[in-house]
Amino acid sequence: MERKFDVVVIGAGVAGEVCAGRLGERGVSVAVVEDRLVGGECSYFACMPSKALLRPVELLNEAHRVPGLRVGKLDAVAVLARRDEVIANLDDTGQLPWLEERGVELVRGRGRLDGERRVRVGDDVLVARRAVVVATGSTPLVPPIPGLAEARPWTNVEATTAKAGPPRLAVLGGGVVGVEMTQAWSALGSQVTLVHRGERLIEREEPFASEQVAAGLRHGGAEIKLGVSATAVSRNGTVRVSLDDGSELEADEVLAAFGRHPTSDDIGLETIGLEPGGFLRADESLRVPGFDWLFSVGDVNGRALLTHMGKYQARLAADAILGHEVAIRSDGPLSPRVIFTDPQVGAVGHTLAAAGEAGVRARAVDVETSGNAGGSFVGRGAVGTSRLVVDEDRRVVVGATITGSEVQEALHAATIAVVGEVSLDDLWHAVPSFPTRSELWLKLLEAYGL
């Protein structure tokens, strides 16, 4: 059976939901196709459950810094129960009214392109009068390390939804998933060993952020092995991980935290002459080049594999479908990002090294994150560094990194400064309230020489 809509969205993860909802609010007839949970990876297997696991850890650490509080231990059972509440016990019923209120029709099933402006879902074909939006996201990458796939490794799915922590957990990979899950499960009682082939963790961020996160994980009881790689994995009751330095690691579970792969293998790209399996690249208006009716948003386009950036792209794509001129202004590795370890890492724009590689005549200015009056009350004595990367020729901030206790909410001011290209001279007149840690901006500008 054929049915017609103005727009068909393939994938009801966060990006697909936002795009469909924005269009529906404006009177466009929209169908969104989903064969798993409405809300996608972020809501159930990534951002939300991981933060539910990590929030008690950072609160416990902060409580230890405040004189006068009696601090107990984490209750792992209660933490996991709260995690289950956050992910609604993997039931997406609560997500559906948001779509219904906007007139969006949810079609359950696997959506595949079936030629121009056509999406097949089982025996049905949805015909799009105006546009098709691909928002199929990404899946965990499990590299071809001998025996790894056969060892049934954890990915972010199992790491964020496990009903109990394993006595011993081996984490392969030192990116965001690797460090956050090392933090969480160490605090919940597992003996965690993190193995990373690089010389430092979270390598895309500033070196001081890598050093501080590694120190924090070690302080929490984790073992960190840098500069080594897994060469083979086996499971026979116990998981054994062979490393290229000749040593062997034993664990009860192994987490493969190697990054993401676009979900484009089986979505019918070949029916319109495109190669499946890779990122479905999009231009500045989120259109797939050569197809004025086809849009790609979120992880599947490879621009910035972050939930908030997928939502941003979804809003822009919806506006483009509505006939507005749009162009991405915040994108790629310069996107705002937060790592919820302790210390946390918030960053936007260039690191100092990235600025140099981009040809910017850059200068870095550093201060202690809690080196102000507000730091007497939040993050007291906690490790943390705040850095601005300044374009010396234009006198604007092109990058910022803030590490420390509970710094996630401080990042947006830096994002506004970077995206808005606010001059240092204008920032000097944006007076931070006293006594708050936002005075770190005053300290940074004074350190620059204003």
Question: What does the pLDDT read at residue 312?
Answer: 97
Structural element, H or E, at residue 204: none
- For a pLDDT cut of 70, what percent of the chain falls above it? 100
Q: Which domains are present in the chain?
A: 2-39+92-139+261-321 (3.50.50.60), 149-258 (3.50.50.60), 343-448 (3.30.390.30)
Report d(CA 374, CA 435) in Å as an integer: 5
Q: Does 333 have pLDDT greater than 90? A: no
How confident is the model over 46-55, as a mean pLDDT?
97
Question: What does the pLDDT read at residue 394?
Answer: 97
- Residue 70: CA atoms inside 13 Å, Cβ hemisphere, count? 0
Q: Measuring CA to CA, how many Å separate 428 from each of 223, 346, 347?
A: 43, 22, 21
Q: Does 330 have pLDDT greater than 90? A: no
Report d(CA 300, CA 260) in Å as an integer: 10
Confidence of residue 259 (pLDDT cuts 50, 70, 90): very high
Confidence of residue 334 (pLDDT cuts 50, 70, 90): confident
Q: What is the pLDDT of residues 25-41, one digit of tens each?
A: 999 999 999 999 999 99
How confident is the model over 190-219, as a mean pLDDT?
98
- For a pLDDT cut of 90, what percent of the chain falls above it? 97
How confident is the model over 8-25, as a mean pLDDT?
98
The pTM assigned to this predicted structure is 0.96
Asked if 344 and 406 count as a contact pair (C-beta separation under 8 A), the reply is yes
How confident is the model over 332-342, as a mean pLDDT?
93
Q: What is the pLDDT of residues 54-87, one digit of tens each?
A: 999 999 999 999 999 988 899 999 999 999 999 9
Q: Does 149 have pLDDT greater than 90? A: yes
Question: What does the pLDDT read at residue 227?
Answer: 97
Q: Does 323 have pLDDT greater than 90? A: yes
Spatial neighbors of 155 by CB under 8 A, at least 6 apart, are 140, 142, 255, 256, 257
Q: What is the pLDDT of residues 262-284, one digit of tens each?
A: 999 999 999 999 999 999 999 99
Q: Does 450 have pLDDT greater than 90? A: yes
Q: Does 195 have pLDDT greater than 90? A: yes
Confidence of residue 391 (pLDDT cuts 50, 70, 90): very high
Q: Does 332 have pLDDT greater than 90? A: no
The DSSP bridge partners found for residue 34 are 108
Asked if 284 and 307 count as a contact pair (C-beta separation under 8 A), the reply is no
How confident is the model over 219-244, as a mean pLDDT?
97
Asked if 388 and 364 count as a contact pair (C-beta separation under 8 A), the reply is yes
